[in-house]
Amino acid sequence: MKTTKATKSTPVKPVEEPVAKKAAKKAAKKVTPTTGKTTGVAKKATATVKKAAAASKKAAPAKTVAKKTAPAQAAPKKAIVESHAALVRRARRINRELAEVYPYAHPELDFENPFQLVIATVLSAQTTDLRVNQTTPGLFAKYPTPEDLAAANPEEVEEILRPTGFFRAKTKSVIGLSKALVEDFGGEVPGRLEDLVKLPGVGRKTAFVVLGNAFGRPGITVDTHFGRLVRRWQWTDETDPDKVEAAVGALFPKSEWTMLSHHVIFHGRRICHARKPACGACPIAPLCPAYGEGETDPEKARKLLKYEKGGFPGQRLNPPQSYLDAGGIPAPPLGAG
């Protein structure tokens, strides 16, 4: 039986297609006049169409769609693999770079003698050095010696220490510490680690602050800033302060421990913050495996700087002259401003 040709449709603009696909489409239009079913040739042609379409789809280049994306930031660097010798070289270079940036690095607690330093360090728990510095002048004016503080009325001490937070517990610690100094050490702060850690409220961190800054004996102060930065720099992955102290101490000569602590803590407070480190304004960015965790745009990063690098008051009421010469600003007294 002869088949009739389907009515030609209105011509359309030619579309670039494989020749086989065009022929297959044309053949697929042939149907039987009585049943409307496709002939064997048409069926074959339909199959050809499907194959041709699949091949065309596979071969055709994918369309590109322009999407608006956020400005790209440098991805944090992955963990680096380096020998112990390479780690030592990198760690010491970081310390040298920080020493140039913070030549005036110092303990940011105001003190005039070992007794004032040990008390101020105990009070600095769970608060800022600035708040302690704003509080201790009143405390030491009323209780200038261990004997005075040991005999103090707890309620009066609590009222003075209230701005530092946890004032009841801190009152108990400083009075107990003062009593221990009077009873066990003749009213003098001991200059040995094993003696200092026996005092109420004094751990290794506080002891090293006192030894390094009141007695000139090297020690590493592992506070929250120090621990955070040395892990970012991959000097160690330890989290326990004692283990951090041991791991980092092994990378440096003992004579550098105290100033190393100051350099790292200064940097952590001013640039390498916990939540938004100012990576784009960091002087040791090329040496840092964690570069990119924070803001990398230099202009935006500079706005994140704190204390003297950002034009804000420092942590001390009475900072050293070298700090002031570098652009540091003394902190205001309690209640000012």
Positions marked catalytic = 205, 223
For residue 235, count other CB atoms closer than 10 A to its CB.
Answer: 21
Burial of 33 from C-beta contacts in 10 A (0-12 / 13-18 / 19+): exposed
CA–CA dist 192, 211 (Å, integer): 7
Q: How far is CA 155 from CA 159, 258, 263, 268, 328, in A?
A: 6, 36, 38, 36, 36
CA–CA distance, 224 with 169 (Å, rounded to integer) = 21
H or E element at residue 137: helix 129-142
220 Cβ neighbours under 8 A, 6+ residues apart: 208, 226, 245, 248, 249, 257, 258, 260, 261
Cα separation, 129 vs 270, in Å, equals: 14
CB 220 within 8 A of CB 248: yes
On whether the CB atoms of residues 225 and 65 are closer than 8 A, the answer is no
Vertex 92: Cα angle to 87 and 98 (nearest 5): 130
The answer to whether the CB of 177 falls within 8 A of the CB of 200 is yes
Q: Could you give the maximum distance between any two Cα atoms of the chain, in Å?
A: 125
Q: What is the C-alpha to C-alpha distance for residues 219 and 260, in angstroms, rounded to an integer?
A: 9
- Contact assessment for residue 234 and residue 79, using Cβ atoms and an 8 Å cutoff: yes
